[in-house]
Amino acid sequence: MLNPVTSAFEEILHGLLPAAAFKPDTAPYVTEPRGRWAGQGFVVAPSSTEEVAAVVRACAEARIGIVPYSGGTGLVGGQLLQDGLRPVVLSLERMNRIRAIYPSENVLVCDAGVILADVQKAAEDVGRLFPLSLASEGSARIGGLLSTNAGGVNVLRYGNARAQCLGVEVVRPDGTIWHGLTRLRKDNTGYDLRNLMIGAEGTLGIITAAALKMVPRPVGVGAAMMAVPSPAAALELLALAGSRIGDGVSAFEIMHRNGFDFLAEVGMDVKQPFAEIPEWCVLIDVGLPGGLSPEDALEGLFEAAFDAGLVTDGVIAQSNAQRDAFWYIRETIPEANRRIGSVSSHDISVPLSAVPAFIDRAGQALAQVGAFRINCFGHLGDGNLHYNVFPMPGRNRADYEAERPQVKRVVHDLVHALEGSVSAEHGIGRLKVKDLETYGDPAKLAMLRAIKDALDPLGIMNPGAVLRQK
């Protein structure tokens, strides 16, 4: 049974940490980006792995829950505890050092509190690329990105966060430190504990540092926006791009015209790439070695796709500025969504070949529930769609609270029927615990519970996240 943070326990922590480690229990530590919940907790920000270990040991002895807090950008409530006993909120923000860079090994070692954009810049400074990229990269921190196995726009080529990490340093639930910060690419010495911690959302321990994989920077980069007649045509275009450009395709994003309409509706200043916004379009990004022209590759792809009836219009970036403008459109769609306010948002994935059927069937099923606007966009290259349902013009999401559970159920039931996942890249957090119980395989759930009970027998690590608190 867990206990709440008390004034006496606060005094214990003040004896373990310097004054700079204590933060007010206000925003951003007790809020989340969509504004649906408010959290609670006694906020501390250690500056070293040893200080994290001291806090965890104290919490274990007092049986007090710990909620790890990274960049606060999570969308499933994993970074806050709204109800129950007051926990310690442990922020990684002061653990923000790049510890070492090994260019010849393509490895960068950093604290878990380093912001993703700073890791990208450090890699760039030594002529390398750290390819994990997502809209919140200016505030998301490495610890949280690994703990949620974040995805982003480059998964098609480089994989999720898990694929970009060689080793981690972790404070275990009893306060001991696992020194797993290896730079080895081959190490067959037992269970893969690194990958157990990555994606665990802070429920098995606290990642305090990571050895990250860098890659050579592509010599030539380019991008194109192409209008497609349907999601099925976009899928065929993806296959054509793979056959012509191979692994030079870094990202392949699909967008519905509602995304462009929403940008205009909230007054966001973006330059439209098309004279007339198409119903569907894709953003293709490529990175090629020296001697190959991205523009020529994309032009050849467009010509072949046009002849095959897969595209109806297209714009190929003629400069880095134009490429950045294409990506600005894609990366600001989530902000436009937030300003409008969704009835229900869904981070889902289905097998690639099932994407067109999902989009078609989901729209038809939701039409039986009520009148909505749907903004479907996301990472078609890896089957991950952000399928978000919005109020009709002149209404807001509060008007649809009665329909919200049914909307979510319709979408998730269809995803499950198509052998997909109700959490593609955002994690489970606390928002989707019931969904995991509903759609998860019973054998998997039993194994997850056995691992949790074995590694965190007191249940202090992010209680109620991923698995329901006992």
CA distance 410 to 446: 26
At 470 the pLDDT is: 86
DSSP, collapsed to helix, strand or coil, labels residue 57 as: helix
The amino acid sitting at 430 is R
Q: What is the CATH number of the domain that holds 368?
A: 3.30.70.2740
The answer to whether residues 114 and 172 belong to one domain is: yes
Helix and strand numbers (H, E) in the chain are 14, 18
Which residue bears the tokens 């006694």? 42
What are the tokens at 160? 């999720």
Domain boundary among 191, 216, 241: 216
Residue 170 CA to chain centroid, in angstroms? Answer: 21
The answer to whether residues 71 and 176 belong to one domain is: no
The amino acid sitting at 55 is V
Nearest C-alpha neighbor of 74 from the set 347, 267, 321, 260: 347
Residue 449: inside a domain: no
The answer to whether residues 322 and 370 belong to one domain is: no
As for how many domains the chain has, the answer is 4
Residue 324 CA to chain centroid, in angstroms? Answer: 21
CB 69 within 8 A of CB 143: no
The answer to whether residues 253 and 317 belong to one domain is: yes
DSSP, collapsed to helix, strand or coil, labels residue 185 as: coil
Residue 456: inside a domain: no
Domain boundary among 289, 314, 337: 337
Q: Residue 297: which H helix or E strand, with range? A: helix 294-307
DSSP, collapsed to helix, strand or coil, labels residue 347 as: strand
Q: Residue ranges of the alpha helices (H) in 341-441?
A: 355-367, 404-417, 433-439
The residues near 407 (Cβ < 8 Å, ≥ 6 apart) are: 343, 344, 366, 369, 372, 389, 400
The answer to whether residues 304 and 365 belong to one domain is: no
Residue 448: inside a domain: no
Count of all residues that appear for the chain in the document:
470
The answer to whether residues 151 and 249 belong to one domain is: no
CA distances from 102 to 14, 84, 105, 123, 133 (A): 37, 45, 5, 10, 21
The answer to whether residues 333 and 345 belong to one domain is: no
What are the tokens at 357? 């059927």
CA distances from 355 to 250, 276, 350, 352, 376 (A): 20, 25, 6, 5, 11
The amino acid sitting at 101 is I
The answer to whether residues 240 and 347 belong to one domain is: no
Q: What is the CATH number of the domain that holds 26?
A: 3.30.43.10
Q: What is the dihedral of CA 15, 18, 19, 22, to 10 degrees?
A: -80
The amino acid sitting at 368 is Q
The answer to whether residues 133 and 206 belong to one domain is: yes
CB 227 within 8 A of CB 255: no
What are the tokens at 275? 């004279």
The answer to whether residues 290 and 372 belong to one domain is: no
Sign of CA dihedral 299, 300, 304, 310: negative
Residue 81: inside a domain: yes
Nearest C-alpha neighbor of 114 from the set 227, 208, 251: 208
The answer to whether residues 74 and 130 belong to one domain is: no
At 269 the pLDDT is: 85
Per-residue pLDDT of the chain (470 residues; tens, 9 = 90+): 899 999 999 999 999 999 999 999 999 999 988 777 889 999 999 999 999 999 999 999 999 999 999 999 998 999 999 989 999 999 999 999 999 999 999 999 999 999 999 999 999 999 999 999 998 999 999 999 999 999 999 999 999 999 999 999 999 999 999 999 999 999 999 999 999 999 999 999 999 999 999 999 999 999 999 999 999 999 999 999 999 999 999 999 999 999 999 999 999 989 889 999 999 999 999 999 999 999 999 999 999 999 999 999 999 999 999 999 999 999 999 999 999 999 999 999 999 999 999 999 999 999 999 999 999 999 999 999 999 999 999 999 999 999 999 999 999 999 999 999 999 999 999 999 999 999 999 999 999 999 999 999 999 999 999 999 98
What are the tokens at 289? 């070695």
- What is the longest distance spanned by two Cα atoms in the chain? 73
Residue 434: inside a domain: no
Residue 286: inside a domain: yes
- Which pTM does this prediction carry? 0.94
For residue 305, what are the domain limits? 220-337
Beta bridge partners of 288: 220
The answer to whether residues 330 and 346 belong to one domain is: no
Q: What is the CATH number of the domain that holds 301?
A: 3.30.70.2190
What are the tokens at 410? 């319709």
Residue 429: inside a domain: no
Q: What is the CATH number of the domain that holds 142?
A: 3.30.465.10
Domain boundary among 60, 91, 122: 91
Q: Taking CA 19 as the corner, what is the angle to CA 211 and CA 142, rounded to the nearest 5 degrees?
A: 20
End-to-end distance of the chain based on CA atoms, in angstroms? 9
Residue 287: inside a domain: yes
Phi and psi, residue 60, nearest 5°: -65, -45
